[in-house]
A = this chain, B = another copy of it.
Amino acid sequence: MVSSPRTVDEHRAVVAALLDPMPAEEVPVAQARGRVLATDVVAAVALPSFDNSAMDGYAVRAADVAGAPVELPVEADIPAGRTDVPALRPGAAHRIMTGAALPAGADAVVPVERTDGGTERVRISGAAGPGEHVRRAGEDVRVGDVVLRAGAVLGAPQIGVASAVGCATLSVRCRPHVLVLSTGSELVAPGTPLRPGQIYESNGPMLAAAVEDAGGTAELLRFVPDDVEQFLGRLRERTADGAVDLLVTSGGVSAGAYEVVKDALTGRGVEFVKVAMQPGGPQGAGRVAELGGIGVVTLPGNPVSSHVSFEVFVRPALRAALGHPQPDRPAVTATLGERWSSPPGRRQFRRGVLDAVSGTVRELGGPASHLLGALARADCFVVVPEDVTELPEGTRVETWLLDG
């Protein structure tokens, strides 16, 4: 059957629709690193929550030290954390540490370096203007401020500010659980000697790692039988608990005669199509009722096709379900450092290395879909649009940064 191929964008939409937004769960702040925030974090306390000293020194009334040098009696000692801070009498000083609450009546701090450091009386050699070395309550964050937006990825500073406004837990998106399986009777486990015609299974571990990189959790089913009934039985068994959000397969979908994925899932909700792209033409996607209605994405078996298809279709779908405001890889416009040709009617995703200083990109290993060694050294994809067939050196090209 000949039909016009599906566009990359059409298939992206089909795959994206297979995953609903992930529900939220509450996790302790200390376990939230790398997770995606499900709701805004609103400050319940201000930062700072009270006027405090920016220096180790002496809390004073600015007016009392305007005529420095002066000498003042030291009437209290305020370490950080002291909660019963006595008010400051005009004409006196309190010794104060960084972060300690400014006493009522004080409006400036004289750093210890401008004094003799006295504990009974202090000789102050330099003035401090009103507000000097004082951090005002709410100067950083006011009560009710949104300190983190839903969709934020929680790194160290975000965990810091959430802790600082008093969050013990955070509401984050559940991680989508993805079942990864690769098929093919030519696949052999690493560690076993190869016979001619056999290859080591690499798509499974590669795609599982890609799922985890995208923020999901991966479960690898290896060496699923090539027999359709056994294949379906294994999947039914594994998806019965409802814990799987998406099934990603690789292999078994081309025009060949022995294609277990295609044979098992055709007519069961998965539509097998040709997508106008290279590599990665043969794709499939759909929801399978007899597997609890989970989404299934069938990727081609060539390792590079499989990886590229994951990047183009599955990764953005997982990230969108996680609530990332920007599900796609960051893209830049780079300058092609060589001349390329590209087939008409297909969007090409070519593996490259970007020189960040010159902004020039070059291909690694050529466009063929079996060049896994080159893929492992690439740091970007270069996207060649469907209608572009000749790219002279110097062409400005869309470049996806794979480290971003």
Contact = CB atoms under 8 A, between A and B. Distances in A.
Contacts of A197: 50, 80-83, 85, 100-101
A81 B80 CA distance: 71
Nearest to A160: B206
Contact of A165 (B185, B200, B255): B200
Chain A, interface size category, equals: 35 or more
B101 A184 contact: no
B161 A205 contact: no
Contact of A255 (B112, B185, B213): B112
**Copies of this protein in the complex:** 2
A155 interface: yes
Contacts of A201: 163
Interface in A289-338: 301-303, 307, 310, 330, 332
A271 interface: no
A176 interface: no
Contacts of A97: 254, 256-258
A140 to B, nearest CB: 5
A207 interface: yes
A98 B301 contact: yes
Given A140-B365, A205-B163, A255-B56, A49 B199 contact: yes
Interface string A76-98: 01011111010000000001011
A43 B185 CA distance: 23
A404 B162 CA distance: 22
Interface string A130-172: 0000010001110001011000001111111111111110000
A103 to B, nearest CB: 10
Given A160-B303, A212-B33, A307-B157, A185 B81 contact: yes
Interface in A18-76: 29-30, 33, 43, 45, 47-50, 54, 56
B187 A376 contact: no
A164 B200 contact: yes
